[in-house]
Amino acid sequence: MADDKIIDMNERVKANFSWNKYTKFGLFLVLLLLVLIFILSNLFVVREGEYKVVRQFGEVVRIESEPGLSYKIPFIQSVTTLPKYQMIYDVSQAEINTRDKKRILIDNYSIWKIDSPRDMIANARTLEAAEARMEEFIYSVTRTELGQLDYDEIINDEKSSRGSLNDRITDRVNELLANDNYGISVTDVRIKRTDLPEENENSVYIRMISERHSTAQEYLSRGDADKNRIEAQTDREVNEMLSKAKAEAEQIRSEGESEAAKIYNDAFSKDPGFYSLYRTLESYKQTIGDDTVIILPSDSPYARLLMGYTQ
């Protein structure tokens, strides 16, 4: 009986020992897991194209900009992210006055980036506040620059003196941002479009139509003038050519008639009788027709010829 009790007690001791052993191992694993989670939760990854801002009690203590793995002190430090790449900001549409007192609506966009996260946080606090300040500067500079140009210069590239307007706006905005130490810079400012306020559109369209009609009428008038000038010149040249041709024809005809008269004289001088007969026959052509009635003496040359007498 005593032996059974001793055996039972030994088994209980062994069981308790095994339980304590597994319990300690399990607690060790749990503790190790918690430590790993704690460590991993205070590690962070810095990716390409971003800044990691480490704050301690709200104050910036360091900024990580190189890609890789970094850490923070648990509980007292926090990490926020800022973009390192270039960003596009669509500036709100604004109304400005041109040099010739016309109102237009300007729609801009800008390409910008953060150069110094520390300065940006110190002076602008947030990304949205930095964009708001940048927009104010862009509007102010754009209004000043376009206020020195006429409306036609702004909307008409051929007549425009804008040239490097976008570059001037970009440089001036960067100067203002640098003066206030906002830690950001503008890469480019571009004017997407220029519009008229609705109340001015109809009047401008009517004026444009009128100008186009005037231009068209001017072209038509120039065309008519050129047409009349060309026709007059052509008529003059034709008349000169005809006059010259007629003069040459008259000269040729005179020379031909002179040559013919000479030939006739030479021919007729050889046989005067034949010449007299020829002249008489020629006179018949002029005096005798289909209904002609001629009364002649029997001894007249005409009558003798008609009756067949040649002597």
CB 189 within 8 A of CB 169: yes
Give the model's pLDDT for residue 175: 94
Parallel, antiparallel or unpaired: strands 43-46 and 59-64: unpaired
Backbone angles phi, psi at 45, to 5 degrees: -105, 130
Each of the 311 residues of the chain gets a pLDDT tens digit; together they read 555 555 555 566 555 555 566 677 677 677 777 767 766 667 888 889 899 999 998 888 899 888 888 888 888 888 889 999 999 999 988 888 888 888 888 888 999 999 999 999 999 989 999 999 999 999 999 999 888 888 777 776 544 555 578 888 999 999 999 999 999 999 999 888 877 666 665 666 777 788 888 888 888 888 888 888 898 889 888 888 988 888 888 888 888 888 877 777 777 676 676 777 777 777 767 676 667 676 767 677 666 666 666 55
CB 89 within 8 A of CB 109: yes
Cut 0.85: pTM above it: no
Buried b / exposed e over 277-300, threshold 16 CB at 10 Å, is: eeeeeeeeeeeeeeeeeeeeeeee
Give the model's pLDDT for residue 158: 44
Give the model's pLDDT for residue 69: 85
Give the model's pLDDT for residue 185: 95
Tally of CA atoms within 13 A in the half-sphere of 87 that contains its CB: 18
Q: Nearest to residue 103, comparing CAs of 158, 145, 147, 156? A: 147
Buried b / exposed e over 28-43, threshold 16 CB at 10 Å, is: eeeeeeeeeeeeeeee
Tally of CA atoms within 13 A in the half-sphere of 310 that contains its CB: 6
Tally of CA atoms within 13 A in the half-sphere of 204 that contains its CB: 13
By CB atoms closer than 10 A (0-12, 13-18, 19+), residue 108 is: buried
Give the model's pLDDT for residue 311: 54
Domains of the chain: 23-82 (no CATH), 87-196 (3.30.479.30)
Tally of CA atoms within 13 A in the half-sphere of 189 that contains its CB: 28
Give the model's pLDDT for residue 43: 81
CB 167 within 8 A of CB 105: no
